[in-house]
Structure 1
Amino acid sequence: MAKHRKKPVVVEAKLFEMGMEDGYACYPVFSDKLIGYFYKDGVMPKSVRKPAIKTLEGWYEVEVGKHYIVTGVKGERYPVEKEIFEETYEKVEE
C-alpha cells in the first residue's frame, strides 16, 4: 500500500471562552420534587447548563480553558482538547 502525507492546512483557532458557544447542553438535576414524570407544584428541576458548539457531526460540549475551537477552511467549527491541539498544531506567522 502506498504511503501518503496529509497536506498542511491553515486553520483559525482560539481557546474557548464563554460567548463563543452556539447553545447549551442541559441536564436535569433531580431533587425530592420529582414524582414519576410529574413535578410538585408544576416546578421542573433545575438544569445544569454546559456550553456547546454545533459541528458538522452534531453538538459537542466545550469547557473554558479546556478546548480550542478550530474553524476549518470552509467555515466549519470543531473542538480540539487543549493538550492535543498544542501537540499537533503550530502557530503560523501571518
Structure 2
Amino acid sequence: MSKYRKKPVIIDAIQLTSESLMDCISFIYPDISVIDHQTLITIRKNKFLYIETLEGDMKAQFGDYIIKGVQGEFYLCKPDIFEVTYEKVE
C-alpha cells in the first residue's frame, strides 16, 4: 500500500447561512437574477437548500460549505471537515 497527499488546489467555497443565502444562490446559479420572495422565506425557515452535485441532489444545511470543484462541479462539506482541510488564501 502507498501513501498519497492531496494536491494543493485552490477552490471557491462559501458557507451557507441565512445572511449568505443570496450569495450562495448566485454562486451556484449565476444565470438566475430573480428569486421568488416566498422561496427565500421557505429556505430561511427550513435552513437548507438543495444543490445539484455529481452524486445527485444534495441537501445543504445552514453551516455547510458549498464548494466548486476544479471542473465546475459542486459538492458539500461539513464545517468541521472544511476547517481542518482548507485554509483561506485571500
Correspondence for 1:53: 51
Identity, % of aligned pairs? 44
Give the TM-score taking structure 2 as reference length: 0.62
2:68 matched to 1:71? yes
Measure how far apart 1:8 and its partner are.
1.2
Deviations 1:31-77 (A, max 9, x none): xxxxxxxxxxxxxxxxxx6521000110111122x201000111111
* Higher share in helix: 2
Q: What are structure 2's unaligned runs of at least 5 residues? A: 29-45
Q: Specify the alignment match of 1:86 in structure 2.
A: 83
Q: Distance in 2 between matches of 1:53 and 1:68?
A: 12
TM-score (norm 1): 0.60
**Root-mean-square deviation (CA), in Å?**
2.1
2:2 matches 1:2: yes
Counterpart of 1:27?
none
Report the equivalent of 1:15: 15
Larger radius of gyration: 1
* Higher-strand-fraction structure: 1
Aligned length: 67
Paired letter, 1:54: E
Structure 1 residues 3 and 84: CA distance shift in structure 2, 3 A = closer
**Runs of 4 or more above 4 Å deviation:** none
The alignment partner of 1:86 has SS state of helix
